[in-house]
Structures are given as structure tokens and as C-alpha cells.
Structure 1
């Protein structure tokens, strides 16, 4: 499994980098901090991808999701 950390920039969904957009488009699972990342950025994820908001999760829950 490969993990990529993609910066969401200053918050505006249209300011994501080209590489970040391309990586999101290929990721089968996207974990994101809902309190920090604008939901529109997730529109770049594949329609059949799993999208998980980690904001309400504990560290143990996040690790279980990754494992």
C-alpha cells in the first residue's frame, strides 16, 4: 500500500495542485480531516472510492481504517 499526503492549500477547492488532483483521482481510499478539508475537493476521488472523514475518529479508529 502506498500512502500520499496531499495538501489542501488555503482552503479553496480550486487551489489544489494538479498532482494532488491526479492522485485523488486514482486513490481507492481517501482519509481526510473533515474539519480542515473542503468537501468539494473530494469530488476528484473516484466514484467507487471509499471516502472517510477522520475528524470525529480517534487515532485507534484511524489506524484500524488504514490497516
Structure 2
């Protein structure tokens, strides 16, 4: 699964889009902030500036 490069300010949207794809294709057990960061081409800590943990990401998806 490849991700389009993002520009500053778009990481949150990229993470949400990728998380939705992972959930649809591989299920909740495959969802990981670290893996989403890798797929987005950012450091493994970068998603934490938008989501404190996986549950916060899932909450944002549910909204």
C-alpha cells in the first residue's frame, strides 16, 4: 500500500485515510500508529502530534 507524499499540515488527514484503508483491508489488529507512520514516510513518533494513541485515532475516525 503506498501513500502520496504529504505536505506540512496534511499528516493528520493522511493518517486518517490510511487508517481507514487498513481497517477495511486488514482489520483492527493490523492498525498501528508506527505502521501508519512508516507508510506515510514520517518518523514513528510523528503521529503522536495528532493522536496520543491508537484509541484516539479510532475516536477521530468514528467522528
Larger relative contact order (C-alpha < 8 A, sep ≥ 6)? 2
More helix by share: 2
- The TM-score normalised by the length of structure 1 is 0.29
Which has the larger Rg? 1
More strand by share: 1
- The TM-score normalised by the length of structure 2 is 0.29
